[in-house]
Amino acid sequence: MSLTINIYYTGENGNAKKFAEEMINSGIVDRIRNEEGNIRYNYFYSKEDAETVLLIDSWKDKTALDIHHKSAMMGEIANLREKYHLKMRVEQFTDLSHDYDEIIKRRTATRKFTDKKVEEDKLQKILEAGRLAPTAKNMQPQKIFVATTKESLEKLDTITPCRYNAPIVLIVCSNKNIAWTKDNYSTFEMDACIVATHMMLEATNQDLDNIWIEMFDKNKLKKEFNIPENIEPICLIPLGYKDQTFKGNPLHNNRKELKETVEFI
Ligand SMILES: Cc1cc2nc3c(=O)[nH]c(=O)nc-3n(C[C@H](O)[C@H](O)[C@H](O)COP(=O)(O)O)c2cc1C
């Protein structure tokens, strides 16, 4: 996710403005703009305060910012700041809308959650992401049961060994009577899988850890939650905040090379 840093440089006798001009004229600013992961690096002058300039710099992610902080230019900037006797005040902001590539890389199966409650607005965004998912002929056969109560979660523990203590479980189902059907083939499962994937990725976008669960007793689930015959459970998605003792899924980085799964024809 991208980061934006605001730095207010304040001095006397117009020194802050002179500093910014020297940063630009010496080529340091251009060099920084050419650094990997730099999105912007701009100085702003204030009409109200002649002794302050504002630098706004944005970086693709924390790694890019860390590399910048270790670059030789930081020493040059510090020297110039001293030369002009400037004080500085720093504010750091994180982009609320995460970068899609970053979300795809960050999502991983989480198998140990804390009890921390999931915020209502985050849950709503996840459900909305499912609502906006594509389905065959736009039939929207999905039915999502949101298990949040102690009673429901305990019931789920008798249905699957894979809740992993998550405080919320999305039970993603599909209505076979609604899904598009052609030549005896129904897309009910396919549609629900797309909905589930949308929700998983939005959960990651909301900094909520999650996992896709196939290992559960479908018949028992239907019985325990009185799910009608035509509503087919497809998967469970436990959601929450990962326990810091969770070491990560060992299979996560074990992906085949593209050439093994992709062929240009
Ligand atoms: C269709 C499907 C079914 C899965 N079922 C289970 C399950 O029942 N229990 C479990 O612990 N993990 C389950 N997983 C998680 C996978 O093991 C995990 O996604 C896979 O190892 C890749 O790792 P990653 O998600 O961390 O990239 C399932 C994943 C998918 C996509």
Q: Closest residue (by CA) to atom 13 of ligand 1?
A: 213
The best mutation among 212, 236, 246 to test binding of ligand 1, ranked by most ligand atoms within 8 Å of the C-beta, falls on 212
Checking 25-28 for CB contacts under 8 A at 24+ apart, the result is 26/76, 28/73, 28/76, 28/77, 28/80
Please tell me the distance between residue 109's alpha carbon and the centre of ligand 1 in angstroms.
6
The answer to whether domain 108-240 has CATH 3.40.109.10 is: yes
Contact 212, 252 (CB under 8 A): no
User: Hey, where are the domains in the chain?
Assistant: 3-94, 108-240
User: Which option is the CATH number for 3-94: 3.30.70.100, 3.40.50.300, 3.90.180.10, 3.50.50.60?
Assistant: 3.30.70.100
Question: Quick check: CB of 108 below 6 Å from ligand 1?
Answer: yes
The best mutation among 104, 157, 199, 213 to test binding of ligand 1, ranked by most ligand atoms within 8 Å of the C-beta, falls on 213
Question: Quick check: CB of 211 below 6 Å from ligand 1?
Answer: yes
- With 0-12 / 13-18 / 19 or more C-beta atoms within 10 angstroms meaning exposed / middle / buried, residue 148 is middle
- DSSP result, 36-71: TTEEEEEEEE-SS-TTEEEEEEEESSHHHHHHHHHS
Which pLDDT belongs to residue 260? 98
Question: Quick check: CB of 215 below 6 Å from ligand 1?
Answer: yes
Please tell me the distance between residue 110's alpha carbon and the centre of ligand 1 in angstroms.
9
Helix (H, G, I), strand (E, B) or coil at 242: strand
Domains 3-94 and 108-240 share a fold: no
- Give the whole-angstrom CA distance, residue 126 versus residue 140: 16
79: Cβ–Cβ under 8 A, 6 or more apart, which residues?
Answer: none
Per-residue pLDDT of the chain in tens (265 residues, 90 and over written 9): 789 999 999 999 999 999 999 999 999 999 999 999 999 999 999 999 999 999 999 998 888 999 999 998 999 999 999 999 999 999 999 876 667 888 898 899 999 999 999 999 999 999 999 999 999 999 999 999 999 999 999 999 999 999 999 999 999 999 999 999 999 999 999 999 999 999 999 999 998 999 999 999 999 999 999 999 999 999 999 999 999 899 999 999 999 999 999 999 9
Atom of ligand 1 nearest to the CA of 110: 26
**No. of helices (H) and no. of strands (E), the chain:** 10, 10
- With 0-12 / 13-18 / 19 or more C-beta atoms within 10 angstroms meaning exposed / middle / buried, residue 34 is exposed
Would you state the structure tokens that stand for residue 226, as one six-digit string? 């009185």
